[in-house]
């Protein structure tokens, strides 16, 4: 595909998409899905900064079964990568699975072998809250992508992927997959990110989240006796704004009291399940991200989707329109803001962008 002008996503934390879920059109009914869960264990895992773990656990969920062609190669595997603070289960929600994983859907498990990893530091994979706390290795995106690749190739024995797609952090990982393993996939579909170093306002709100927790006296260098609630509350406040969508929020919370209650309820939900060390590691892991210099190395066709009401990746920066020209076979689409979009969390509402998924699958059909 040639680059074309715009034709008008767990979230940075999973609460970013959840924060919007009650504000717009209800999702379709949740399908009954036959899933398989497992753990891929990697011994003596070496991190890019020299740290290591005697054993790293990467949890995963799969749907469907791998199909092998006449030469014995899997030809139907789809890797779907989650956002910061999320896990593979976020794609089993109705707004995603109820659109794509149904009979006859674009990613019908009767046709595709779908792989949903929990990244390092997330879900049921190895993470600080397992016991090491602030002594857990300080993983970054390069480590997470390396572990994903090991799961796919060594754990599940898939040597080529039909599609690599991801939301938010998973979007960024998708670009890294395209650069680091250019022959490993037929197509890429990143949703809700930019392929440049995280700087400007995007870095500022992340630093605010980190500072809010670390400057709470209860944090105690990561060895807290109870969660640093004041810091976590400030962090959740920032995350709510980062995941916000102004049009539906104004419509659905038109009074001061309604807006205040929404904030109170949303922040309380986030704090109820959050671990401070896990959050800090998750947000800080983006520090090594900058695929901008190697975009020309991506061989697979790319369908890149952002939304116009994304606080984290604001379209007025003009970065996407410039960078898409550096990718050999890429198209960038900017979804216009509306009452049906969900800010950054638009990435997980598949009905909004599934026509573009159909397009990239058709264009790269074998």
CATH, residue 121: 3.40.50.1820
Report if residue 93 sits inside a domain: yes
| pLDDT confidence of residue 27 | 64
Report if residue 71 sits inside a domain: yes
Which residues lie below 8 Å from residue 43, measured CB to CB, with a gap of 6+?
Answer: 54, 55
| pLDDT confidence of residue 282 | 97
Report if residue 269 sits inside a domain: no
> Which segments in the chain show pLDDT lower than 50?
1-23
Angle at 138 between CA 288 and CA 213, to 5 degrees: 95
Report if residue 329 sits inside a domain: yes
| pLDDT confidence of residue 273 | 86
Range of the domain at 61: 14-200+284-363
What is the spatial distance between Cα 344 and Cα 240, in angstroms, rounded to a whole number?
11
Q: How many structural domains does the chain have? A: 1
Distance of CA 191 to CAs 6, 169, 186, 194, Å?
A: 14, 9, 17, 9
Report if residue 55 sits inside a domain: yes
| pLDDT confidence of residue 14 | 38
Report if residue 138 sits inside a domain: yes
| pLDDT confidence of residue 366 | 82
pLDDT in tens, 238-264: 999 999 999 999 999 999 999 999 999
Report if residue 83 sits inside a domain: yes
Report if residue 221 sits inside a domain: no
Diameter of the chain measured on Cα atoms: 63
């Amino acid at each position: 595909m040639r680059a074309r002008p715009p034709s008008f996503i767990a979230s940075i934390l999973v609460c970013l998409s959840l924060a919007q879920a009650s504000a717009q059109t209800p999702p379709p009914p949740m399908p009954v899905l036959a899933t398989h869960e497992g753990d891929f264990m990697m011994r003596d895992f070496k991190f890019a900064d020299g740290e290591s773990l005697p054993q790293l656990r990467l949890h995963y969920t799969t749907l469907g079964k791998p199909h092998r062609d006449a030469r014995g190669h899997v030809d139907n595997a789809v890797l779907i990568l989650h956002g910061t603070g999320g896990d593979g289960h976020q794609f089993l929600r109705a707004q995603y699975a109820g659109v794509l994983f149904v009979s006859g859907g674009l990613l019908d498990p009767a046709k595709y072998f779908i792989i949903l990893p929990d990244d390092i530091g997330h879900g049921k994979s190895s993470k600080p809250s397992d016991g090491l706390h602030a002594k857990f290795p300080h993983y970054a995106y390069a480590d997470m992508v390396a572990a994903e690749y090991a799961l796919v190739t060594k754990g599940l024995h898939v040597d080529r992927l039909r599609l690599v797609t991801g939301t938010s952090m998973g979007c960024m990982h998708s670009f890294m997959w395209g650069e680091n393993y250019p022959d490993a996939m037929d197509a890429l579909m990143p949703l809700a990110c930019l392929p440049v170093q995280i700087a400007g306002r995007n870095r500022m709100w992340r630093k605010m989240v980190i500072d809010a927790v670390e400057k709470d006296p209860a944090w105690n260098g990561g060895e807290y006796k109870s969660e640093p609630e004041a810091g976590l509350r400030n962090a959740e406040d920032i995350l709510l704004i980062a995941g916000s969508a102004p049009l539906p929020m104004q419509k659905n919370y038109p009074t001061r009291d309604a807006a205040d209650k929404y904030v109170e309820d949303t922040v309380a939900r986030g704090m109820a399940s959050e671990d401070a060390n896990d959050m800090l590691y998750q947000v800080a892991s983006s520090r090594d991200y900058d695929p901008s210099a190697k975009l020309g190395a991506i061989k697979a066709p790319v369908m890149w989707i952002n939304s116009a009401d994304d606080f984290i990746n604001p379209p007025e920066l003009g970065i996407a329109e410039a960078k898409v020209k550096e990718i050999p076979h890429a198209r960038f689409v900017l979804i216009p803001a509306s009452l049906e979009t969900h800010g950054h969390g638009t990435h997980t509402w598949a009905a909004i962008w599934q026509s573009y998924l159909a397009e990239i699958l058709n264009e790269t059909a074998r």
